[in-house]
Structures are given as C-alpha cells and as structure tokens.
C-alpha cells in the first residue's frame, strides 16, 4: 500500500451564514480503505463528503487526492464518483444504458463500454438485468445499478452518501455485506457516510466520528467501541453507561456488566448493590435497568443461552449485585471537566 493517502484533508472549514458546518477538519484516508464518516444529522459528515467530491468549496483548507491538490477543481476533473441515497438513475434509460452513461460521456467506444458495463453489472450480481428500466427494479436492485454505474468508471475513490438509507432493515443488512465484499473485489477506496452506528461498525476498516463539524475520534471499529475518546463517542456509538467514581467519569458497555445474586463472590469484579427497576425480554437477550445506591442507573444485558423460564430471571424490585472488571471501565473525563474535542 502506498504511503501517500488517497485522500488528505487539512484545515477544512465551511460556514453557511452563522453556522459552522465543518470546523478545522484534518483527515487521511489510506488507499484501499473502507472508511466511514459517522455522526448525527448536522454533524458535518455529509458536507465534508461534498467538499471531497467538489460539490462544495471549503472556506479554508486543502483537499488532496493521491497527493494532488484538487481544492479548486470542479467535480468532473476529480477522479472520484459519488453514490447517493436516492440512486439518481435516469428513468428513461435501461439499466445497461445507465451504467454505460459515464463511459459514453468520456468517449469510450461502444464495444469497450458494453464490456465494462457487463462486468460491473456482474460484480453487483445483476447479470441479465441490462434491458430493464429502473422502475422495474426493487430498491435494492436500483442501489446496485447506482453502484455499478459509479464503479464502471474505475475511480480512485468512491464516495457513498447514506446509500442504504432508503432500504428496509433486512435488505439494508444484506447490502452491507454486499458492499463490503464488492469493495474488497474492486480494491477502490470507499468513503462512506452514515448515521447508523451498527452499519459503521460492521463495514468499516476505520471510522471518523463527527460532532458539531469536528472529528471526535478516528479509530478501527473495535478500538472505537472499546476505548471511546470521550463521552460523546461513548454515547453515540452503541449503548453506554456513564458513571463517576473517585473523581473520574467512566463508561461501561451493558454487555460488560454481570448480574449477580446479593452476597455472591466478587471474583476480581468491582461490585455494587442496586435494585432492578426494569426488565425487558428481547429474544436473544434480556435487558435490565438497575438503580445503584448512588442513584445512578446502569443498563445491562444477559444472553438467553438456555430456554429458562422467566421465573429464573431477576424481577423488577429485586435487590441485586452488579459487577464489572476494572479494565472494562473506560475513563472518558474527570469530574466536572468539559470534554475537549479531538482534532
């Protein structure tokens, strides 16, 4: 892999009136990476993507693609393609014509266009669909056509702006695996924008978490989940319990907390007593909310490994012991200390 990143952003800032959409963003995306920009609505992730694509100009800062400064170049002169949530297919064209369109604009001869378009459709598992119109396809199939149209031009970087947002849950989960597989086959750098934490954790090599126009943390999924940089990341990426002990604020994931009988052996756990205030059976797991003597509430889950009856589970109002290993409590700040946003 080349030492020169496919994308390098330095000091990006973009304002819309009094709103700072992107605030001093620095970021490197390596060649061949599946990189995700994750954050809530209005966090700056889509604006950053549009700046990379050339649809927006930064007020200050620089955009480089494989070492070339493209900050002031228009979208058509950047070697990137974008896949949007609404697919943006031409309804009057066939699937094959849609996929061929970019090649035709570039003046690629018809035999070569057809060959490359057929290869792209095969890659997205749509062989034999070339003569259909977009209206004859399902949402998932239309998304695959949009992906084939973007890949057929063989860009250095593919930008994907919430491409699965319009799909139902089951199809979205299926397409996550398809996208990751396709990205591995073509070897193109993917930059993916989403607000879905599970989607980001499932698909990505690395994730940048955005908030208020800034990047809070850039890490591989495991590190991001297990070692959040601050309270925002801990709360936004998955479910997190925030507690304060000995002047330090720390977060513990629900699955890291054990539910024990009162008086049970600690066995290396840090334990506290509490009362069950809510029990929710959710099939694979049962979710408990326990109020500690400190007044803090912890959410925890227990795997339903055996077909045990509800009689065996702690009930609302029961006194319980909860415990966690010290290394599973990630420190995210000191007492009454304002969190600084990571650059």
Is 340 contained in some domain?
no
Q: Domain holding 65: CATH number? A: 3.40.50.300
270-281: strand order across its sheet: 258-260, 319-324, 270-281, 285-292, 297-303
Tens of pLDDT, residues 152-165: 988 999 999 988 87
* β-strand partners of 14: 22
Mean pLDDT of the region 248-268: 90
Say how far apart CA 136 and CA 333 lie, in whole Å.
54
224/270 same-domain check:
no
* Residue 205 forms part of a structural domain: yes
For residues 243 and 249, the answer to whether their CB atoms sit within 8 Å is: yes
Give tens-digit pLDDT for 217-252: 999 999 999 999 999 999 999 889 999 988 889 999
Whether residues 179 and 326 fall in one domain: no
Does residue 172 have a pLDDT over 90? Answer: no
Question: Which helix H or strand E contains 45, and what residues bound it?
Answer: helix 45-53
Mean pLDDT of 88-103: 90
Claim to verify: residue 181 and residue 324 sit in the same structural domain: no
Are 197 and 307 part of one and the same domain?
no
Asked if residue 254 has pLDDT above 70, the reply is: yes
User: pLDDT averaged over the chain?
Assistant: 89
pLDDT score for 124: 87
Q: Are residues 253 and 214 in the same domain?
A: no
Residue-level pLDDT at 343: 28
Query: Looking at the structure, do residues 164 and 55 belong to the same domain, yes or no?
Result: yes
- pLDDT reading at 306 higher than 60: yes
Among 196, 231, 266, where does a domain finish?
231
pLDDT at 160: 93
Average pLDDT of the segment spanning 166-193: 86
Same domain assignment for residues 311 and 197: no
Averaged over 268-292, what is the pLDDT?
92
Indicate if the pLDDT at residue 23 is higher than 80.
Answer: yes
Instruction: Tell me the whole-structure pTM to 2 decimals.
Output: 0.87
> Mean per-residue pLDDT for 281-303?
91
**Is the domain of 215 the same as that of 327?**
no
Q: Tokens 């990426």: give the residue.
A: 237
pLDDT at position 307: 60
Tell me the torsion sign for CA atoms 123, 196, 46, 140: positive
| Structural domain boundaries enclosing 112 | 7-231
Q: How many domains does the chain have?
A: 2
Among residues 209, 231, 253, the one where a domain terminates is 231
Reported as a pLDDT band with limits 50, 70 and 90, residue 342 is very low
Asked whether the predicted pLDDT for residue 340 surpasses 50, the reply is no
Confidence check: pLDDT of 205 > 60: yes
Band the pLDDT of 173: cuts 50, 70, 90.
confident
Query: Side by side, which strands form the sheet with 330-334?
Result: 241-245, 248-252, 330-334
Mean pLDDT of 100-114: 89
pLDDT at position 1:
47
């Amino acid at each position: 892999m080349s030492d020169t990143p496919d994308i390098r952003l330095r000091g990006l800032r973009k304002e819309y009136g009094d709103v700072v959409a992107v605030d001093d963003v620095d970021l490197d995306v390596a060649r061949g990476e599946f990189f995700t920009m994750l954050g809530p609505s209005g966090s700056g992730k889509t604006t950053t993507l549009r700046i990379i694509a050339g649809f927006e100009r930064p007020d200050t800062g620089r955009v480089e693609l494989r070492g070339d400064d493209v900050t002031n170049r228009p979208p058509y002169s950047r070697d990137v393609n974008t896949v949007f949530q609404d697919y943006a297919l031409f309804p009057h064209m066939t699937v094959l014509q849609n996929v061929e369109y970019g090649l035709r604009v570039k003046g690629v001869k018809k035999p070569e266009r057809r060959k490359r378009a057929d290869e792209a459709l095969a890659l997205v598992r749509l062989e034999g669909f070339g003569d259909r119109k977009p209206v004859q396809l399902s949402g998932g199939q239309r998304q695959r056509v949009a992906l084939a149209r973007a890949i057929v031009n063989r860009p250095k970087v593919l930008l994907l702006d919430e491409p699965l947002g319009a799909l139902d849950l089951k199809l979205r989960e299926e397409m996550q695996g398809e996208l990751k597989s396709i990205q591995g086959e073509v070897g193109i750098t993917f930059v993916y924008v989403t607000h879905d934490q599970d989607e980001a954790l499932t698909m990505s090599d690395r994730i940048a978490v955005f908030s208020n126009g800034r990047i809070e943390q850039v890490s591989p999924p495991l590190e991001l989940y297990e070692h959040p940089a601050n309270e925002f990341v801990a709360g936004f990426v998955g479910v997190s319990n925030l507690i304060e002990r000995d002047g330090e604020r720390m977060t513990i994931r629900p699955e890291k907390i054990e539910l024990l009988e009162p008086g049970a052996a600690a066995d290396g756990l840090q334990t506290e007593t509490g009362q069950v205030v809510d029990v929710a059976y959710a099939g694979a797991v049962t979710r408990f909310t326990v109020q500690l003597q400190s007044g803090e509430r912890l959410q925890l889950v227990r795997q339903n490994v055996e077909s045990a009856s509800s009689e065996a589970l702690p009930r609302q109002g029961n006194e319980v012991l909860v415990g966690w290993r010290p290394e599973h409590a990630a420190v995210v700040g000191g007492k009454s200390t304002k969190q600084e946003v990571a650059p």
